[in-house]
Structure 1
Amino acid sequence: MGSVHDTNSATAGVKACSPLVGAQRLREMLKDPSKAVICPGVFDGFTARLAVAAGYDALYMTGAGTSMSRLGWADMGIATLNDMRANAEMIASLNPAVPLIADADTGYGGAIMVTRTVTQYARAGVAAMHIEDQVQEKRCGHLLGKQIVDREIFYSRLRAAVIARDQLKSDIMIIARTDARQGQGFDEAAERLQEAVRIGVDAVFLEAMQTREEMEKVCKLMGDIPVLLNVVPGGVTPEYPIDDLVKMGFRIIIYPGLCIGPLLTACKNSLESLKTNRISPKESFGTGIRDAFNFTGLEECVAIDKAAGGKAYDTVGH
């Protein structure tokens, strides 16, 4: 984690408006092989602001969290490009100086569709995106029963993504993700990623490794290419402290479910308390609503209005 970024100034949401700011910054952060970029999983504006205020220098937009929060459905390939791009654009715009790595699932179609996906993500301000080798009817990476496309279909997706990146002259990073470990073994997954590097991707992501030996091996195989690790407590990949993961060689470490569990537990408990006790629990929103408004940009909006000569928000209450 680094220093807390400016979320209170009148220009926090509009400064550094170039869509490439986050991508350029992420590439700079990855130049030091002795450090890793730590990304908490976020899925809406509130969790994104919480993560930035906590001092994280980069964010990860989880596809599972996006599907659950925007659609109310588990991550079973239901979210579309439009769902994912719109959410990514909103999160990336809150502070463009904080790089956002975003799930792009399978690229949402063939080569032409993948090109469109990369273009839209780049223009939305996304710093990096990962494309995987599951079939279109995909599912969350730590669930059983995943189906994998043939190598050439996967490579075609990646070639299309790299071509789109280069034609755009964009700094957006293309991350190749393989889910082949579960059904076809570690060697097949590693070979897919090695070919992905030859195609021209910027980083790799081997999902659902099962042992420490595999985790260390993939980092050695990839050499200078950044390797992303997905940390899912209770998933198939063993969890280790961040310092240990950095020593193994991981350069990007994401925690997709970090905000999902606490939110689920807190809201469920609060709702059940009201239902049972017939009065709102003391720890609920209550008198803290103004604090929540301030946290999500109330004072920033008032300052912008005043700077423009407006008086509409001279008195703001609830």
Structure 2
Amino acid sequence: MAQSKSATKLRQMLADPDKIIVCPGVHDGLTARVALNVGFDALYMTGAGTSASRLGLPDLGLATLDDMSLNASMIASLDRSAPLIADADTGFGGPLMVARTTERYILSGVAALHIEDQATTKRCGHLSGKEVVDTAAYVARIRAAVKTRERLGSEIVVIARTDSLQPLGYADAISRLKAAVAAGADVAFLEGMRTREQMARVVRDLSPTPCLLNMVGGGVTPLVTAREAKEEFGFRVVIWPIAGMTSVCIAMRELCRELKSEGEIRERYTEDGRVDGGVRDVFELCGLSACAEFDKEVGGASFANGA
């Protein structure tokens, strides 16, 4: 199965002690295409970006399972050789709903998903006022995901995320993550760390379980490079979840201001004189030539006169 190959590849990447998996956050097909074109070998689908791009709303638990799983399915389908790690929020309910969520993600070709312990009315992990369920309820979510994986014969990677650091403190957060790993989680994700000391400590305290580091611009966690994350702290996965969302916001705002103030958007040029980001460039990024070639290969004539 295609989804099994993707998950298997991610597991192989996690098993390589010399490898750190660096994932840019993408929220739609275009940002995913850009990241793949640059050469990233794994991607991260952000829940915040999904909410912002599909709904135009903040990350306050407003995106549904359909919003998230359909977006994940589309992104995962663009390149089955590049594993997709996808946000699954709280699993969208109790154990039965977590099981349904996990099944949807598996069938969508997602290589890994992370499930958190916030209350169902969740919010971005770098906002204040977070509330979490008790440890038993959290572990039941993780166990539901693991059991569903086993039932479907999948290798999807289950990432246990806890947001309890903010409301309950470090000791509780580590206890929760250890319980989640005991229930079958493959990777640990402590959200909202505030110091480099905490970043180093969590990897030591959870060893040998691989740990994921979340790098959010403007968030509460100190930003570090991928090299620092690997060599200084020992993280195995680093995600930059709002990379796509931030870049789109900044660029779109700049171009809209230009159009508003000057009545036009000036063309930008590459070093070799081509229009940078012109319509054909975007279509090629999204597979224009590949589509035309496939049509020709199977005997079609839709693009016989070019495209």
Normalising to structure 1: TM-score of the pair? 0.92
Q: Which 10-residue stretch deviates more, 195-204 or 26-35?
A: 26-35
Report the Cα distance in structure 1 between the residues aligned to 2:215 and 2:171, rounded to whole angstroms: 21
2:234 is equivalent to residue 249 of structure 1 = yes
Instruction: Give the number of equivalent residue pairs.
Output: 301
Matched with 1:311 is 301
Pick closer, same or farther for the CA change 1:92–1:287 going to 2, 3 Å.
Answer: closer
Matched with 1:296 is 286
2:194 is equivalent to residue 210 of structure 1 = yes
Tell me which amino acid in the other structure corresponds to 1:315. Answer: N
Q: CA deviation at 1:89?
A: 0.5
Q: Is the 8 A contact 2:86 2:113 kept in 1?
A: yes
2:164 is equivalent to residue 174 of structure 1 = no
1:103-130: CA deviation from partner (whole Å, max 9, x where unpaired)? 0000011111100000110010000000
Structure 2 counterpart of 1:278, from 233, 257, 263: 263
Structure 2 stretches of 5 or more lacking a match? 270-274
Tell me which amino acid in the other structure corresponds to 2:93. Answer: G
Matched with 1:70 is 54
2:29 is equivalent to residue 45 of structure 1 = yes
Q: CA deviation at 1:315?
A: 2.7
Report the Cα distance in structure 2 between the residues aligned to 1:34 and 1:306, rounded to whole angstroms: 43
Q: CA deviation at 1:35?
A: 2.4
Instruction: Kindly report which structure 2 residues correspond to 1:84-163, keeping only aligned pairs within 5 A, or say none.
Output: 84-163=68-147
1:139-168: CA deviation from partner (whole Å, max 9, x where unpaired)? 010001111111111111111111101111
Q: CA deviation at 1:281?
A: 2.6
State the SS of the aligned residue for 2:160.
strand
State the SS of the aligned residue for 1:20.
helix
Matched with 1:239 is 223
Q: Is the 8 A contact 2:126 2:219 kept in 1?
A: yes
State the SS of the aligned residue for 1:156.
helix
Normalising to structure 2: TM-score of the pair? 0.95
Report the Cα distance in structure 1 between the residues aligned to 2:227 and 2:259, rounded to whole angstroms: 42
State the SS of the aligned residue for 1:30.
helix
Matched with 1:258 is 243
Q: CA deviation at 1:268?
A: 1.0
State the SS of the aligned residue for 1:259.
helix
1:210-247: CA deviation from partner (whole Å, max 9, x where unpaired)? 11111111111111211001001221111122111102
Q: CA deviation at 1:271?
A: 1.2
2:42 is equivalent to residue 58 of structure 1 = yes
Report the Cα distance in structure 1 between the residues aligned to 2:260 and 2:25, rounded to whole angstroms: 30
Report the Cα distance in structure 1 between the residues aligned to 2:264 and 2:102, rounded to whole angstroms: 49
Tell me which amino acid in the other structure corresponds to 1:75. Answer: D
2:189 is equivalent to residue 199 of structure 1 = no
Report the Cα distance in structure 1 between the residues aligned to 2:259 and 2:154, rounded to whole angstroms: 50
Report the Cα distance in structure 1 between the residues aligned to 2:277 and 2:78, rounded to whole angstroms: 25
Matched with 1:5 is none
State the SS of the aligned residue for 1:70.
helix
Deviating above 3 A after TM superposition, structure 1's stretches of 4 or more consecutive aligned residues are 283-287
Q: CA deviation at 1:292?
A: 1.0
1:248-300: CA deviation from partner (whole Å, max 9, x where unpaired)? 11001000011222211111111121121122332398981111111101111
Pick closer, same or farther for the CA change 1:314–1:236 going to 2, 3 Å.
Answer: same
Report the Cα distance in structure 1 between the residues aligned to 2:300 and 2:149, rounded to whole angstroms: 42
Tell me which amino acid in the other structure corresponds to 2:34. Answer: L
Q: CA deviation at 1:33?
A: 2.2
C-alpha RMSD of the superposition: 1.5
Matched with 2:11 is 27
State the SS of the aligned residue for 1:314.
coil
Matched with 2:149 is 165
Report the Cα distance in structure 1 between the residues aligned to 2:109 and 2:53, rounded to whole angstroms: 21
